Amino acid sequence: MSDPYPQPAHGRAWNFSAGPSVLPLSVLEEVQHDLLNYKGHGMSVLEMSHRSKVYSEIIADAEATLRRTLNVPDNYSILFLQGGGTGEFAAAYLNLFASKLVRDKQRKLGKQLSCDYLVTGSWSTNGLKEVKRLGGKPNVVVNGVMSAESGETSYTSVPPVVEWKLGNPDETAFVYYCENETVHGVELPQNMVVDAVDPSVPVICDMSSNMLSRPVDVKRFGAIVAGAQKNMGPAGVTIAIVRKDLLERDDDPEVTRNLPSVLDWCYFDNAGSMPHTPPTFTIYVCGLVFKWAEKQGLEALEQLREARSKLVYDEIDAHPEFFLGRVDKRYRSGMNLVFNLPTPELEAQFVLEAAEHNMLQLKGHRKLGGIRISLYNAMPIEGAKTFVAFMKDFYAKNHK
């Protein structure tokens, strides 16, 4: 008996994983073609010295392609790092407080600067915990919203900007936020934060899960950090796009005493992202994804992202008593769509039956349960349509 739902080519599954996530098929095919013998050089990129001329060209091309695709200004450095978004929780804090710009501001104030944190879900919560652990002085600008039903804080919406508790710009080193929360399915509208922050305060944004899904005005940020494994490539590399004035240091030996080299943006910037062996193969694949994104165009990728998510959200909204959406419609993620079903048993049945039809990785995050469908750049519109067809059939069979 044939499957009633359309299936991807090459016996592949519909991979709705939140990360590592689906990659463009054309990229995988190019990797497969060149895996044993990269462009006739007699070896795989997996085997290639990072100091070779061939690999130097690979990493330089990856950087140049990303710079073109995102229209990154010349006064920003692009760094290929390790440690994921988690590493950048510490790196952002340590590097900003090592920068001459922030240190001069702190000396003028005569006391430690604070740093503003918008807490809108699990990942920004972790970022806040890290800066506290390192001895920072965080100011919590936003901490979810108060639930009218339970009276407890939840991460299902974002308070109006007029209710934000932004610090005094003269006493603030930077503002940090995560634009798209993969666990809770909350995504802040573009420019919402930077429009609210005084221009003198650098904004540091974690874009791990929505990078390359739409155009970004890079020059409005002090730094953008992003793990690659959602929209940009395999796990193992982290991208940091950093305004160069934030990389300037003074001669005080205390500046980097507590800044490990592996987290030091200047250490990587001064060595072209290769002070030591980088994740060579991951960067190579990322470079191919950057080329794919450049060819698609960020405007087209944004249109596709909106079309995919609308298909699913329309079905959720059509049956709100069955598909229980958790997130305020104004802040629903275009990348990670979360909902519950009336019972945990139905949720388990939904995930199991979907897997029987080759739709995988739909179980919600372990902290929240429910259902989560991740629709990253490489997911074709057919994947979303197939999932919605399954939702309709499941509803017809199980609603009361």
* Beta sheet of 336-340, edge-to-edge order: 324-325, 336-340, 371-374
Which residues, at least 6 apart from 95, have a Cβ–Cβ distance to it below 8 Å?
A: 242, 246, 247, 259, 263, 264, 265, 266
The residue-averaged pLDDT of 44-70 equals 97
Q: How confident is the model at residue 148 (pLDDT cuts 50, 70, 90)?
A: low
Q: Residue 336 in contact with residue 180, Cβ under 8 Å?
A: yes
Q: Which of 14, 206, 265, 292 is catalytic?
A: 206
DSSP 136: -
CATH topology of domain 13-21+296-398: Aspartate Aminotransferase, domain 1 (3.90.1150)
Percent of the chain at pLDDT above 90? Answer: 88
Q: How confident is the model at residue 250 (pLDDT cuts 50, 70, 90)?
A: confident
What count of Cα atoms within 13 Å lies in the side-chain half-sphere of residue 145? 17
Q: How far apart are CA 364 and CA 369, in angstroms?
A: 5
Q: Residue 63 in contact with residue 77, Cβ under 8 Å?
A: no
Measured in Å, how far apart are the chain's first and last C-alpha atoms?
A: 28
Closest CA to 62 of 237, 271, 289: 289
The pLDDT, as a whole number, for residue 400 is 77
Closest CA to 159 of 188, 133, 123, 137: 188
Residue 393 annotated to the active site: no
Task: Give me the phi and psi of 119, to 5 degrees please.
Answer: -105, 110
Q: Which of 105, 230, 291, 363 is catalytic?
A: 230
Q: How confident is the model at residue 146 (pLDDT cuts 50, 70, 90)?
A: low
The residue-averaged pLDDT of 26-40 equals 97
Answer whether residue 243 shows pLDDT above 90. yes
Residue 123 annotated to the active site: yes
Closest CA to 29 of 7, 57, 9: 9
Task: Give me the phi and psi of 299, to 5 degrees please.
Answer: -65, -40
Q: For 45-294, which CATH class? A: alpha beta
Answer whether residue 1 shows pLDDT above 60. no
Q: What is the mean pLDDT of the chain?
A: 94
Q: Residue 263 in contact with residue 84, Cβ under 8 Å?
A: no
Using one digit for the tens of pLDDT, what is the confidence trace for 264-292? 999 999 999 999 999 999 999 999 999 99
The pLDDT, as a whole number, for residue 222 is 98
Q: Where in the chain is the domain with CATH 3.90.1150.10?
A: 13-21+296-398
Prediction pTM value: 0.96
Q: How confident is the model at residue 111 (pLDDT cuts 50, 70, 90)?
A: very high
Q: Enumerate long-range contacts of 318-325, CB under 8 Å, 24 or more apart.
A: 319/395, 319/399, 321/399, 322/395, 322/398, 322/399, 323/391, 323/395, 324/370
Q: Residue 181 in contact with residue 120, Cβ under 8 Å?
A: yes
Q: Which of 14, 123, 265, 292 is catalytic?
A: 123
Pairing of strands 238-243, 324-325: unpaired
Answer whether residue 333 shows pLDDT above 90. yes
Helices (H), the chain: 25-34, 53-70, 84-98, 100-109, 122-133, 192-196, 265-269, 280-296, 298-318, 344-356, 381-398
How much of the chain is in helix, strand and coil states, percent to nearest 5? Answer: 45, 15, 40
Which tokens in the block code for residue 17? 């994983």
